[in-house]
Structure 1
């Protein structure tokens, strides 16, 4: 177990490893680090609902219960937002929330892999893969992506544009 003063300095992946090894203080640090952003993410998608708190708590409860399934090779924030989005969709289905945004979210294929094969990703950098995943799978906007990846919003947009161009080129090559 890391000393308390060191916990704040660990990155999210290292904190999750600590948490998987039984250090519950690591979860407290992760919760404090991400609670405002996750709450804001959910509030934007449930603007007229009094149930944001319920969905928010369920998301962090699922992080707790699923902690042993987390793979530190992947960004914790990406995993967290996938869980939050999943809880949001579950809530919408359970409560039969009918709102155009939720219908679109539920009906769209949330897996980029649904359309692209693994070979289509080979030309992408790790940062491009992470960004596409945060944008399409976690449904984050550019401000949230820039915070998650610690880059500027304009840089996030450039990386996104470059990654999409590479994917389109891979798809075009695959068709011919």
Structure 2
């Protein structure tokens, strides 16, 4: 855990206790601490501005309703992300929509290092692949999509992801490997189908 996140967790624990003890203004300050991180996860998982806003507000409402259950001795961000992840999974199961926009995932799927300077041709190829991957993400189940997002968007460790989704780190690693493999196979199949369609004309 980096120093900034440790500082946020410490401050959040203090504010959580204040809120539970009857200081409503503490909750507003608590939201300000983690609002960018929660919104970033929501934006990566949910397509549609209004859907994202509704889900974001729903997450914080659940936090307020359950803050009395939070143990200040534990990292606040893990507890918060667990609520956020469950809300996102519930939403995705209903909407079946996902957007994952992250260059690290793109690079990992193709297993090539980042280039310092990209040619226009290279940029267009990567942009096209990025678009294809975004569309193909809907073929993964909700938990795998969430694990990918926490890993490649939030940069969380296997242990942190496991504490949020209720898995040990080995299971998280296995799910990540399978999800990346499935995405790559889906991408290859999609491109082959497109080549065959183009050849028919």
Provide TM-score, normalisation by structure 1: 0.53
* Structure 2 counterpart of 1:135, from 145, 157, 161: 161
Query: Alpha-carbon deviation of 1:67?
Result: 1.1
8 Å Cα contact 1:92-1:102 kept in structure 2: no
Task: Give the CA deviation at 1:88.
Answer: 0.5
Cα separation, 1, equivalents of 2:37 and 2:60: 13
Q: Is the alpha carbon distance of 1:15 and 1:51 closer, same or farther for their aligned partners in structure 2, counting shifts above 3 Å? A: same
Q: TM-score, normalised by structure 2?
A: 0.47
Deviation, structure 1 residue 62: 0.2
Matched, 1:13 2:39: no
Which residue of structure 1 aligns with residue 93 of structure 2? Answer: 93
Matched-pair contact (CA < 8 Å) for 1:38–1:56? yes
Where 1:22 maps in the other structure, the secondary structure is: coil
1:146 maps to none
Q: Is the 8 A contact 2:89 2:143 kept in 1?
A: no
Gaps spanning 5+ residues in structure 1: where? 1-7, 111-129, 140-162, 165-176
RMSD: 3.3
State whether residues 59 and 83 of structure 1, in contact with CA within 8 Å, keep that contact through their aligned partners in structure 2.
yes
Tell me the CA shift for residue 93 of structure 1.
1.7
2:142 aligned partner = 106
CA contact (8 A) 2:46 2:97 kept: no
Shift of 1:131: 4.9
Instruction: Pick the structure with greater CA Rg.
Output: 2
Q: Distance in 1 between matches of 2:54 and 2:46?
A: 11
Residues 114-150 of structure 1, C-alpha deviations (whole Å, 9 max, x = no match): xxxxxxxxxxxxxxxx9544233447xxxxxxxxxxx
Go from structure 1 to structure 2 and tell me whether the alpha carbon gap of 1:55 and 1:137 turns closer, same or farther (over 3 Å shift).
farther
Unaligned runs of 5+ in 2: 1-7, 99-134, 147-155, 171-201
Kindly tell me the number of residue pairs found equivalent between the two proteins: 115
Instruction: Quote how far apart the aligned CAs of 1:96 are.
Output: 4.0
